[in-house]
Structure 1
Amino acid sequence: MIFRKLSKTAFVAVLTAAIFISAFSVDAGSLNDRIKKGDSIRIGFANEIPWAYPGENNKPLGFVNAYILGVLKTMGYTNIEPVVTEWGGLIPGLKANRFDIITGGMYILNSRCQNIAFSEPMGQVTDAFIVKKGNPEGIKDYKDIVKKGAVLATGAGYNTIEAAKKEGVPADKIMVVPGPTEILAAVKAGRAAAGGMTYFTALNLAEESNDAVEVTDPAALPDWTLNYVGIGFRKTDKDFLKKFNEAQKKYLGTPEMMESVKEYGYTKSQLPGNVKTEWVCNNR
């Protein structure tokens, strides 16, 4: 037994930690309970320009943050607390009650639907690669990466990891780094031939790179890489999610909403249409 190998002091420490974690979980409660107590709604996001990113004093910027602040406001909620983390920590942080909602611009994927609940889609977005200016290796899609034995850089927790493997890219040719800054650095330094990410993120990195990289045509990627963006919730907060979806249905695509996201590049072409989360969870 493992406890027999622990000293008395260590055993007490483990027991105390277990009691603390249990107490914390109970105290965390549902999002509805937190709101009733007057607690803030904690929104979690990473530094993913222009999706969601922190401004001065962690002010929530980006089109997904602007969008969700608008939806919550129509619901009567303005007591919002931003929580910034790395992309790979969003789902674990949500499940661990570090925050209540993921606003980071997360694709609805079957693998993610197993762990969290998503709102109905708020957008549809394609992926793309960044490559060195002029695309010297001629990489347009995942098959080109396979043929050339090239390295693809992408972010921890990104959907492009699954997509690359599905298209036959060997695991040892997928360089997983923390986020966009590191992807750009890998491509510029030649450690990766391409960087995989959302089209919005790729455009932003190309602009930041001072003409060092360019963005490939997203239409060159398979049709199934067209993805739908949702807001993430804990599965235990489905009552709140139901109210959120009702408010979102009235807000999505309104002039007020479109004006709030305009500066970040979100346009009517990104509206999701009539696609439902249940379908997306089963088909992406």
Structure 2
Amino acid sequence: MTPHLTRRHLLRGGALLGGALATPGLLTACSRTEAGTGAPGGDADLLARLRKQGHVRVGFAGEAPYGFQDGDALAGEAPTLHREVFTALGVPELKPTLTEFGALIPGLLAGRFDVVSAGMAITPERCAKVAFSEPEFVSPTALMVRAGNPRGLGDLASCAAAKARVGVLTAAVEGGYAKAAGVADGDLVSLAKQQDGLDALLAGRIDAFALTGISLRWLARTNEGKAVEVLEPFVPVVDGVKRYSPGGAVFRQGAVSLREAFDRELARITGDPARYVRLIGKYGFTENEVPPPTLRTAELCAG
């Protein structure tokens, strides 16, 4: 049997709720529901209205390398892929709203934006509230530890055996993975953002920081020279099922035509690994992160 692949969330920047970002080619986003932009209850013809107005409002959480501010530009895996997809759909402009990760789904449901562009993990719990695109990527979990790996850790099971303190992002799936591996609640430390994990490691408050390997590699890259290292990625197992951590775009459940059109264009990108890497390789994504065509959101949502 093919193992189900689920992706933790991942995004959880330190942005202020409802903040907005003005970027070249991107108009400043407003946190209020805008007339004619497809607020809840008017999603059936949302794609047609987005084409007519020429822009789509996207919510992102300020977490590299998935969706973040790079100078004055909106950058990262999700905005880059989504810009490519929406341009192909006749919607050439993204209007971004910078939002705390935990407020992304509530903001989407309240009509503050039309799509979440944040590399969010596809999980059954979230599928009950919103609709995900087909997977944009897969990324197994890894640990960041102090240089030299003084506790001799390798995965979450080894953390449990060593009674190591493990840092996880608040509301991210790594907390559940750690508990499933036997890490005690008292050894789990919740952190608000990625940089907090590295800082906690260096301060000795935690022994390991668990996140997707690609996020930790990016964090190490942006903290070059710091005495940390990223261990080899591993695949967590929860209730006997391997968890590969796929993520995707997020829509309101009524936006069926928009999501289906998005999926058709996304498949053209994920079906061409060279194009995929050309678009987002600079953010650390390789052909190894291309989701296999057999990995479907319907399966992931079923659990």
Q: Same fold (TM over 0.5)?
A: yes
The reply on whether 1:243 has 2:257 as its aligned counterpart is: no
Deviations 1:209-258 (A, max 9, x none): 32411111113744713121211111121221111112222233434443
Deviation at 1:139, TM superposition (A): 1.7
Match of residue 198 from structure 1: 212
Match of residue 53 from structure 2: 38
Secondary structure of 1:136's partner? Answer: coil
Moved more, 255-264 or 100-109: 255-264
Q: Relative to 1, partners in 2 of residues 1:256 and 1:208: Cα closer, same or farther, differing over 3 Å?
A: closer
Match of residue 228 from structure 2: 213
Deviations 1:137-186 (A, max 9, x none): 11212222222322211112211122112222222322112110111111
- Does the 8 A contact of 2:214 with 2:285 survive in 1? no
The reply on whether 1:271 has 2:286 as its aligned counterpart is: no
Q: RMSD value over aligned CA atoms?
A: 2.6
TM normalised by structure 2 equals: 0.78
Match of residue 66 from structure 1: 80
Deviations 1:186-208 (A, max 9, x none): 11111111111111111112223
- Does the 8 A contact of 2:220 with 2:230 survive in 1? yes
Q: Relative to 1, partners in 2 of residues 1:39 and 1:73: Cα closer, same or farther, differing over 3 Å?
A: closer
Q: Distance in 2 between matches of 1:199 and 1:27?
A: 36
Out of 246, 251, 255, the position equivalent to 1:228 is 246
- Does the 8 A contact of 2:51 with 2:90 survive in 1? no
Deviation at 1:27, TM superposition (A): 7.8
Secondary structure of 1:41's partner? Answer: strand
Deviations 1:70-96 (A, max 9, x none): 111111111210111222222222222
**% identical equivalent positions:** 28
The reply on whether 1:183 has 2:212 as its aligned counterpart is: no
Q: Aligned AA for 2:298?
A: E
Q: Distance in 2 between matches of 1:269 and 1:145?
A: 26
Deviation at 1:39, TM superposition (A): 6.9
Deviation at 1:23, TM superposition (A): 11
- Does the 8 A contact of 1:53 with 1:62 survive in 2? yes
Secondary structure of 2:254's partner? Answer: helix
Out of 165, 170, 174, the position equivalent to 1:151 is 165
Secondary structure of 2:119's partner? Answer: strand
Q: Aligned AA for 2:299?
A: W
- Gaps of at least 5 residues in structure 2 are 1-31
- Does the 8 A contact of 1:45 with 1:83 survive in 2? yes
Deviation at 1:33, TM superposition (A): 6.8
Matches of residues 47-66 of structure 1 in structure 2 within 5 Å?
Answer: 47-57=62-72, 59-66=73-80
Structure having the higher Rg: 1
- Does the 8 A contact of 1:50 with 1:63 survive in 2? yes
Q: Distance in 1 between matches of 2:47 and 2:88?
A: 16
